[in-house]
Structure formats: C-alpha cells, structure tokens
Structure 1
C-alpha cells in the first residue's frame, strides 16, 4: 500500500505491442510490486520483456486495530496541532474514512485545518483536498526527508506536531523532532509486512545475485528494505548489492524508492514522473543502451546477441545450447569461415559427444538455421561455415 505509482497508466504507454516483440525483447525484468502487478507486467511484456514476479511485500498490509487508531485520533483532537505532516494518500484516505465511521470526521478536518499542513507528495495532497484541507507546502521531490528538512531550521519548542506514518514506523523521525523541542503524535493507519510466501523472493534474490536478470523494478521503499532483509537471511545480501552495482539495473518508480537504496550504495534510475508507464518507458531506453550486445546483419536479418539471448528482427529466437554455441562461435569472426573442427570444440560437451563430429556440427547448424533463418549461415564446401554478412 505504499507504492509510489498511481493506479492508472498514463499516455506514455503507446509503444506496447501484443506479439512479444518490442524494444525490451531479450531482456528479463524482475518485478517486486505487490499492488498493480498485472498492469506492470503487461506493460513490460507488451514491449517484449520476460518477467519474473516476486512480491516483496504482503498484498494485504495489516490495518492498525480500529480501537488503536481511534484512541490516537482522540489524542490528536485533545490538543491543538501546530504542524501536521501528511505522508501518503492511501493512509490519509483510510484515516479520514475511519474517522467518518466514528462520527469524528468533521471535528478532525476542522482540527487539522487550523494547523500548518505539509504534504509529502501529490497523492497525499489529493487526499487532503478531497476533504477540504489545503497544504501550505509540498516538496517537488516527493521525499519525506525534504519535508523534515523544511522544518528542522525552525524553533519547534513547545510545538505539537502530528505525523501520519507511511506504513513503516517513523519513530526515529518522532525522536528527532522531540529533540528539537516538539511534542510529537504519530498516527499509524496500516503496517506493511513482508510477503506471506517468501519462496518467490528467495528465487528472485538468487537470480539477482547470479546476474541472470537485466533489471528489477521497485515501486516502494519498503519493498527495497524487504528484499535486502530477505537477502541477508540467506547470506546473499553482499552478492545482491554487488550485482546491482554492476550488472543488474535497480529501477525505481520515484525518488522515495530510490532513496532507500542510498544506504547500500546502489545506483538507481527513476523517471521524471513517478508513474508505472514512465518507469517502463525508462527501461525501454536504458536496457538496450546498457546491453547493446553484438548487432549483425546476416542473410537479410538483423541479429542482436546479448549474453545467451539472441534477438532476430526484434523477436527472441529460442535457441538450445548447441545452436547457440555455433552462432556465438561464428559471430566472433563475422563473415569468416570457421572450420567444423573449431565449431565442434565450441559445442557443449554432450552435443559434441553425440554421433560423429561432423554430424554433431551439421545438426547444430541445422537447428540454428531453423531458429534464425536459413540464409543466415552459409556452408563453405569442404571448409566449414560462415555468417552471411557482407565482407
């Protein structure tokens, strides 16, 4: 419930396709979101990406007990509020809805309306305005740190500050404000918790650590914390951090999520607008640049080799290890003739041991032609094979 991205994709989703081809063909992307996951996966797969879903958080965040929330609401109402910090739209909506059920909504709105209101971002602003409240200020960055920075230079002695929490405890924030002389009341509406079944997350962690993913998307800061905690529990946190620092692109929907990676020294990318479609559009631009691989024109086709993935005319070619090994060996010397003996040496051990050496190579070449196009590989009589590129 703390995803930064909105529920509806925007107009940036205009380049998707429905046939598995597209700018992300050949790339595999991990998805950690618990909410709106179908939408995100559809955006990625319509651009050709393969996806691996492993929710970092529970899809059913735990609501604070009704009696507990009502007690803190009555505590807020009992004392004038000087400064109110709103952090999430969904948290504000849930609090106001509960207050309405108790018959306390008019009193709560009027009470908070007499305070100076600061909001973390547009969703909390929207929740406030729907109830007739107006924020005095909200940071462009949408980062709660900037909200705190906005108030730290003040004399807070004797001030009563109410902080609406964002799914994770802000007790350290409350302690910091109290050190500046303020009285602080924290309002927790819900708590985010790790996913009920950690198995998919452990699988994702292994794939990140083994660098078999090209990118992983994150839509909330708690998801980052949950992944790192899970990685630490299986002794792979250092491997995950190293992979993110080098080969796996940590892709965040907005600045709040990106900030959660700063503790680990992990570089991230984020779109200018915190939107799902904008994040996917950013991946569309970043991944091909980072994994350009080898691009060849052969036999009337365009081939792109990215690791063990082969893209032919924008669509992934499902090659088994033997034909893939032949293609990689030929691609090392585009257009040059490669002997059967050299190609045999390139084959996986099992394929090379099957039948005669010439037969093993010829069978692998036949499967390669079936996968990438019959004219891509040329036979050079009594010498071997070559890629059909212009020399």
Structure 2
C-alpha cells in the first residue's frame, strides 16, 4: 500500500469503526484525528406514539418512506400500540414513494409497491421521481430517520402539500466541544480533509457553524483548503445541500474505499504538481 496521505491530517466524523479508519489512514501515511459529529440516534417510541395515533386517525393521500429500518420500526411501534392493522391499512390505501432499495424491500414485506422511487438512493433522486405528481392540497406523511430532510420537505410544501412527518428515531446532537474544535481546525486550516460517513454528521457540523455565525466561512474552508470525503451518495448529497461543491466519494460505498480514494486524490495532485501539496 502506498503513502498517498503522507503528512496529511485527516479528521474522522464518525463515532463507529474509528479505530479501523484510523489504521487505514496511518497505513497511507496520514495522521488521523477523531472528531465525532454523529451524536446519538435513539428510538423515540414515547414521542412518536401520539403522532402515529393521529396519523392512523386522519390518514394521508401520500406516504413517503426514506429508510428501511424506519419503515419497519413504524410498523412495529403501531403493533405495540394495538393499531398495527389500521396503520397498514392506511398506508396501503395511500400512494406510496420510497428512497433506497432497503426501503423498497421493507415495503414489499407489507405488500406495498411504491409508485415513485429514486434511482440512486438519494433524496434528490426521490424528489425527481415525485416532480410529475400533483401534491396541491394533499396530505403527505413523510417517514424520517433521526433528522429532517429539508430539501424533501421544502419540495412538498412548495408543491402545496400538507406535510405530516413521522420520526421513529430522534437525533441528539454530538458533543459541542468536539464540533467547536473541528470548526476551529477547519477555519485555521489545521486539517487537510474530513471523512463523513453519514448525512447526520454533515448536518451536525453545519448546524453548529450556522448557529455560531460562521457557516459560510466553513463552506469556504472546504472550497479552498479542506477536502470533504463522503462514504457514499446520500452523505455526498448532504454536503452538496450545505454548499460544499469540492468533495469526493468512492463508487463502492465503504469506509475503506473512501480512504483509498482520498489517498489517490492526493497522489494525483502530487503527480500533477511534481511535489506534495
């Protein structure tokens, strides 16, 4: 294995498998620093229960599911509340849309075939598949996972829909001191790249930065000095939505592939310039 990350300081935004990622970065000659942006995602059964009850009572014209685990969790929670069959009846009667192949597989278990679905696993792809449908005056339930999907919710509201979000899982923000430290490192050009493994990590960083008044400066840091690395399409999409245009993501959506792609990027830059950059 080469040393494509020689001397590069690489921040890791994940909270899981950080040791494995650190080892891969070191093997490429890099210096890993763990700056977890993940926070905690927990089952919010007590909070979502009343919303689930209300949804079953009122129904919807459309139901949009964004994750397989979230879809299955809503059905499971409905069963615990004694409204499982009623919940399934309501979502089967509505027009359904889904994001991601795991979501389609989950819906298939319950006898539901979405009439709209993305082609690439992204929210952008899902929105494109929904663009030709009429949502004016329609009630739309959107299953979310741990965080809001601002672009999807905005799209539906602009199309005239009445949006009813259901979040079976809630997100608790990461340690604020850790996020503040990474922001400082980004602004001072003390890291060369940041590895993001989920969209939640991206949202956490930029939400904190905006609240502190330097969101635009963080975006500029990524544009000018710091390379953003995304593990896959959904994470890359979140970065783009936050204004980060200079980023890389491997075709194979794996953490190891992301590190290798990062090393290749710096090797290519070195080859072009004739020296390390």
Say yes or no: TM over 0.5.
yes
Q: 1:40 to 1:155 in 2, by over 3 A?
A: same
Larger radius of gyration: 1
Deviations 1:110-129 (A, max 9, x none): 43233332211123234334
Which of 71, 80, 86 is the matching residue for 1:101? 80
Residue aligning to 1:167: 146
The alignment yields a C-alpha RMSD, in angstroms, of 3.2
- Residue 180 of structure 1: how far off its partner (Å): 3.6
Instruction: Give SS of 1:141's match.
Output: coil
Residue aligning to 1:70: 49
Structure 1 stretches of at least 4 aligned residues deviating more than 4 Å after TM superposition: 170-176, 232-239, 291-295
Instruction: Give SS of 1:30's match.
Output: strand
Q: 1:80 to 1:227 in 2, by over 3 A?
A: closer
Flag the structure with more relative contact order, 1 or 2, with Cα contacts below 8 A and sequence separation at least 6: 2
Gapped regions of structure 1 (runs ≥ 5): 1-14, 16-20, 296-304, 308-391
Residue aligning to 1:270: 249
- Larger deviation, residues 167-176 vs 144-153: 167-176
Q: Distance in 2 between matches of 1:61 and 1:145?
A: 23
Q: Distance in 2 between matches of 1:199 and 1:292?
A: 38
Query: Under a length normalisation based on structure 2, what TM-score does the superposition of the two structures give?
Result: 0.81
Residue aligning to 1:382: none
User: 2:129 matched to 1:150?
Assistant: yes
**Number of matched residues?**
276
Residue aligning to 1:359: none
- Residue 181 of structure 1: how far off its partner (Å): 4.4
Flag the structure with higher helix content: 2
Q: 1:51 to 1:268 in 2, by over 3 A?
A: same
- Residue 53 of structure 1: how far off its partner (Å): 0.8
Q: 1:179 to 1:245 in 2, by over 3 A?
A: closer
Is 1:293–1:306's contact at 8 Å kept on the other side of the alignment?
no
Q: Distance in 2 between matches of 1:159 and 1:238?
A: 36
Q: Distance in 2 between matches of 1:222 and 1:253?
A: 12
Gapped regions of structure 2 (runs ≥ 5): none
Which of 169, 190, 195 is the matching residue for 1:217? 195
Q: How does 1:358-369 map to 2 (within 5 A)?
A: none
